[in-house]
A = this chain, B = another copy of it.
């Protein structure tokens, strides 16, 4: 489960979501940098820091999840020479459901090292909770 750096940030992102949808832990951990400071934040959960914790989080999620389909819509991008930040909407369709769930918003950070690009951060969070429309902040969540 070592990183397999990719030629572009877009290739890392495609591999990340392919591994996610396929629920393949080996493929998933190939996209993360060989760096004990990588960090993964699943929706509403505390950060998982370092490759071991990140792997444990995905193992747990893949074990709990049934089949699902995943659609990803790019929302925003910021490029520098060796860091690219991409913000995407993730649409999950679970099991036999015919419509995607409300989107999850994710910030993905990719870093270029000597061997190529890999993922160093994934921060996913709900865009809305329950019946609250996106963009409206429910009472009690000031920031």
Interface residue ranges, A against B (CB under 8 Å): 20, 35, 37-39, 41-47, 49, 61, 65, 68, 75-80, 82-83, 85, 87, 90, 92, 94, 101, 104-105, 107, 109, 111, 120-121, 123-129, 132, 134-138, 140-143
Residue from B46, B85, B142 in contact with A134 in the complex, judged by beta carbons closer than 8 Å = B46
> Would you call B42 and A107 a contact (CB within 8 A)?
no
Q: Which of chain B's residues have a CB closer than 8 A to the CB of A134?
A: 44-46
Closest to A78 in B: B37
CA distance A69 to B38 in the complex (A): 30
Q: Which of chain B's residues have a CB closer than 8 A to the CB of A142?
A: 61, 65, 68, 92, 94, 101
Closest to A64 in B: B142
State the Cβ distance, A50 to closest chain B Cβ, in Å.
9
